[in-house]
Structure 1
Amino acid sequence: MTAQTLEQHASVSSVNSADGTPISYRSTGTGPGLIIVPGALALAADFDPLAAAFAGRFTVHTIERRGRGASGPQGDNYSADAECADIEAVRAATGARFLLGHSFGGFLALEAALKTNAFDRMAVYEPGVCIDGSIPMDWAEQCQRQLDAGKPFEAFLTFVQGINPQTSGKAPRWLLRAIIPLAIKKHERQQKYALLAGTIREHAEEARRNNDYRKYAGITMPVLLMAGKEADKTGAGRAPGRLKDVLPQSELTLFPKLDHFGPEKDPAAIAATVTAFFLGVPR
């Protein structure tokens, strides 16, 4: 199934989370249930190509995380725990037994797995787990000021530079001003601008859990950890290697040609690897 046909065949459902917030999710495919949790600055539809790559073997449910689309707002008392409850609400409604998270969604998947043993297996791609201060927040105040001043492009530049100081943070701001409009289409930039305020709150949730990743030793299900070509350069890239030493049943797979957005850029490769892991096929 292609992403285009997925858009035609996907159904959209909604369930109320524990705090009453409606959570929308997109479903497609046949087979055992799989929940996909997108990362920051992403919508469920951004993962349609990945869902399509899974749809021949799984019934895929992609969560529209709170603060996005038809789902309810983040709320004044936003927390990662609330998003874990959202995942649980979708799991209870669908009976899904597999969980896949990308970036911030990977962080949420790990947090959710500590609260339930209902999933059989889980996979995360460069989860946003804060280790040794790998998720800085010194950019957040300036980013919020720029948003409040009606300067979303400048706010986005501040985010891009601040969140990865070892890579994009080293690029001159004038260079990023020139590159980003060429690299990211206008409608995609507008989407990111709209989600940026919520992203500040999300990253604060990761950062405040700095170095408590050893608690994930309590996750007893098999976990596939994935990272791209920046596995030794960025905080998100290094996290899977550190988590490999903590999670009792885990394996690590590297994608040397992919970057942090591998699940969106090469969904076929990610889906093939994750499918084999979920179904217990030797690789």
Structure 2
Amino acid sequence: MSASAVQVEVQVESVDSSDGTVITYRTVGSGPGLLIVPGALQTAADFDGLAGALAGQFTVHTVERRGRGASGPQGDAYSAAAETADIEAVRAATGARLVFGTSFGGFLTLQAALRGSAFDRIAVYEPGVAVDGSVPMGWADRSRRELDAGRPAEAFLTFVQGINPDLSGRAPRWLMRIILRLAIKKPERLQKHALLAGSIREHAEAERTEADFPRYAEIGVPVLLMAGKDVKTTGAGRATVRLKDVLADAKLIEYPKLDHFGPETKPEAIAEDLAAFLRGGTA
């Protein structure tokens, strides 16, 4: 059956993580339990389109990661370990055995699997794992200074250019200012500005784990790797390809018409492959 979008009613539920932080999640659909883990600068509602496309086949629980919405704050002792505990708390509360993570959420998904979360199948889209410098952090200090100075748009521009030095990083700042204003609507830009300080911490956590990259070989369940058109020119794209050779049981699908934000902006383009894989078939 094709994974087409359906009209569904979203239920918002919550669970306490191991450190007492409240983690909310959005639930739709019926069928086997599936978690969606959003990336940096994203919220759970950003994936209502993908959840709706999968709701006819799965009970979809989209995690509202800490620091967002009604979930609790990141906290002063923020770590990837805390976020993987959040994922496990939602998984345990829902009984979900399937998971899809995108970008930094894909990194957290793989980390959760390493830490013992009982998933039967894992799918990730351009996961933000660190290998061979794929998560550069040279931009972070400048971005923090610009945030502290009350210049969130400049701080976001610094992030966009710094995290993708081979693409957006090559363009003049004046040109990127125009591109960002035209390409991203104001409400979305404001959301990204609000989440940027937390995103700096998140990327630092990913970069910190680079030496542990070979450990992903310990993940024994099937993994679907998904990547967009910039698979060879972005850090996330290159890391996805590297994961193919490290994971014990992995398949890679490339989508030449999608960018890094494909699962959020064009969910119908990946939903059918994703559903087929998660149900145990061939994507």
TM-score in terms of structure 2 length: 0.97
Q: Which runs of 5+ in 1 are unaligned?
A: none
Q: For residues 69-116 of structure 1, give each alpha carbon's deviation from its aligned partner in whole angstroms, at most 9, with x where no partner exists.
A: 000000000000000000000001000010100000000000000122
Q: Which amino acid aligns with 1:12?
A: V
Q: Structure 2 CA distance, aligned partners of 1:126 and 1:97?
A: 21
Q: Structure 2 CA distance, aligned partners of 1:76 and 1:268?
A: 38
4+ residue segments displaced more than 3 Å: none
Match of 1:82 in 2: 82
Displacement of 1:278 in angstroms is 1.1
Displacement of 1:117 in angstroms is 5.2
Which piece of structure 1 moves more, 134-143 or 14-23? 134-143
Q: Are positions 1:247 and 2:218 aligned together?
A: no
- Give the RMSD, CA atoms, in angstroms: 1.1
Aligned pairs for 1:130-145 within 5 A: 130-145=130-145
Match of 1:54 in 2: 54
Q: For residues 206-229 of structure 1, give each alpha carbon's deviation from its aligned partner in whole angstroms, at most 9, with x where no partner exists.
A: 111124211011000000011111
Q: For residues 224-251 of structure 1, give each alpha carbon's deviation from its aligned partner in whole angstroms, at most 9, with x where no partner exists.
A: 0111111110110111211111111111
Q: Are positions 1:159 and 2:140 aligned together?
A: no
Aligned pairs for 1:19-34 within 5 A: 19-34=19-34
Q: Which amino acid aligns with 2:204?
A: A
Match of 1:105 in 2: 105
Q: For residues 177-234 of structure 1, give each alpha carbon's deviation from its aligned partner in whole angstroms, at most 9, with x where no partner exists.
A: 1111111111101000000000000000011112421101100000001111111101
Match of 1:36 in 2: 36
Displacement of 1:2 in angstroms is 4.7
TM-score in terms of structure 1 length: 0.97
Q: Structure 1 CA distance, aligned partners of 2:57 and 2:200?
A: 36
Q: Structure 1 CA distance, aligned partners of 2:50 and 2:85?
A: 24
Q: Which amino acid aligns with 1:232?
A: K
Contact 1:132/1:211 (CA < 8 Å) preserved in 2? no
Displacement of 1:279 in angstroms is 1.2
Match of 2:147 in 1: 147
Percent identity between the two aligned chains = 66
Aligned pairs for 1:122-271 within 5 A: 122-271=122-271
Q: Structure 2 CA distance, aligned partners of 1:225 and 1:11?
A: 29
Q: Structure 2 CA distance, aligned partners of 1:218 and 1:99?
A: 17
Contact 2:5/2:268 (CA < 8 Å) preserved in 1? no
Q: Structure 2 CA distance, aligned partners of 1:271 and 1:139?
A: 34
Q: Structure 2 CA distance, aligned partners of 1:269 and 1:225?
A: 15
Q: Which amino acid aligns with 1:79?
A: S
Q: Structure 2 CA distance, aligned partners of 1:117 and 1:2?
A: 29
Cα distance change of structure 1 residues 64 and 201 upon mapping to structure 2, 3 Å threshold: same
Q: Say how many residue pairs are matched.
A: 280
Q: Which runs of 5+ in 2 are unaligned?
A: none
Which piece of structure 1 moves more, 236-245 or 59-68? 236-245
